[in-house]
Amino acid sequence: MTDIPSPTSGVPMPDPARKSTPGKHSPNKRPPNKRSVKIYTRYERFWHWSQALLIFILALSGFNLHGTLSFVPFPLAVMIHTFAAITLIVLWLFTTFWNFTTGQWRHYLPQNKGLFAVIKFYAWGIISGAPHPYAKTLKRKQNALQSLAYLTFMVIIGPALWLTGIAYLLYNLWAEFDSSRQLFSAVAFLHTAAAFAMITFVVVHVYMTTTGKTVFHYIRTMITGYEHIELTKAEEAYLEEQEPELLRHPKG
C-alpha cells in the first residue's frame, strides 16, 4: 500500500476539484475540512533530499573542473563529478519507474487551468499579501506552474545533462570521427548550459521554499511529509478507515 491513495489504485476517491458557495451546503455534505495529511511519501522525500545533495556536489565539482573554484585536485574533482553524475542518473531512472508504477506521474501533468493565476500571484500578488490561488489536494499536490517547472526539469534539463555528460565521458570512443573536436565543443557548451539551467532551477526552487506560511514551512513539510490540505467528508472518511497512518491527529 502506498503512502498516498493512488489515482490508479482502483479505490474510488472523490474528485477534489470541488466548488462550493459560502453558506450553501446540502444537508448531506459539509464544507471541506483542513487536516494534516502525509501527502509526500517516504520515497519522495528520500528522492528530493538525495537529489538535492547530488546536485550540490555536481555543481561544486563542476565549478572546480572549470577552474572557477579550486578546493580539490583536478583528478579528484573528475572522480567526484563522475560518481555523483552516475548516481543521480540511476536515481532518476528508478524514480521515473517509481512514478509510473505508483501513478504519481499524474501529479506532474501540466495543465493550463490556474497557470496564469499562479504566475500573477508570484509576480505581484505575493508582495501585496494576496492569498495563494491554489490549494493542494489528494489528487493534485502541485499547482500548474510547479507541474510545468518539474516537467521541464525532468524531461528537458535532466536528459540534456545525461546525454551530454555521457557523450563527454565517452569522448575517447568517438574522438577519431571527423569533426569530433567541433562536436566536442558543442557537447561541452550544451552540458554547461544545461548545468546552469539546473542551478537556476535550484536557486528559484530554494527561494520558493521561503514563500510559505513561515520561511521553513515548506522545508518542514518535505522533511515530515505532512501538509494541511482540504478534505471532503468522503476523503476524510476514507483515510480514517483505510489509511489512518496518513492523518496526523491534533494533540490533546
Query: What single-letter DSSP state applies at residue 154?
Result: I
Q: Is residue 19 part of a domain?
A: no
Number of alpha helices (DSSP H) and beta strands (DSSP E) in the chain? 10, 3
Distance CA 190, CA 194 (A): 6
Specify the pLDDT at position 107. Answer: 83
Residues 6+ apart with CB under 8 A from 207: none
Q: Is residue 4 part of a domain?
A: no
Q: Is residue 11 part of a domain?
A: no
Specify the pLDDT at position 21. Answer: 42
β pairing state of 247-248 and 226-231: unpaired
Specify the pLDDT at position 7. Answer: 38
Q: Is the dihedral of CA 221, 2, 147, 240 positive or negative?
A: negative
Q: Is residue 161 part of a domain?
A: yes
Q: Is residue 101 part of a domain?
A: yes
The CB-based long-range contact list for 65-69 (8 Å cut-off, 24+ gap) reads 66/192
Determine the structural domain holding residue 71 and report its residue range: 33-248
Return phi, psi of residue 178, to 5°: -60, 145
Give the mean pLDDT per block of 10 residues along the chain (252 residues): 42 43 44 83 96 96 92 95 96 94 86 87 86 83 88 92 93 87 93 96 92 89 92 87 85 60
Distance CA 213, CA 191 (A): 37
Cell of 114: 490556474
Name residue 119's amino acid: I
Residues 125-146 have pLDDT tens digits of: 888 888 888 888 878 888 889 8
Specify the pLDDT at position 56. Answer: 97
Q: How far is CA 167 from the centre of its chain?
A: 26
Tell if the pTM clears 0.85, that is, is over it.
no
Q: Is residue 98 part of a domain?
A: yes
Specify the pLDDT at position 31. Answer: 52
**CATH number for 112:** 1.20.950.20
HSE-up of 154 (CA within 13 Å, CB side)? 21
Distance CA 240, CA 245 (A): 8
Q: Is residue 52 part of a domain?
A: yes
Specify the pLDDT at position 192. Answer: 95
Structural domains of the chain, count: 1
Specify the pLDDT at position 17. Answer: 42
Q: Is residue 26 part of a domain?
A: no
Specify the pLDDT at position 32. Answer: 63
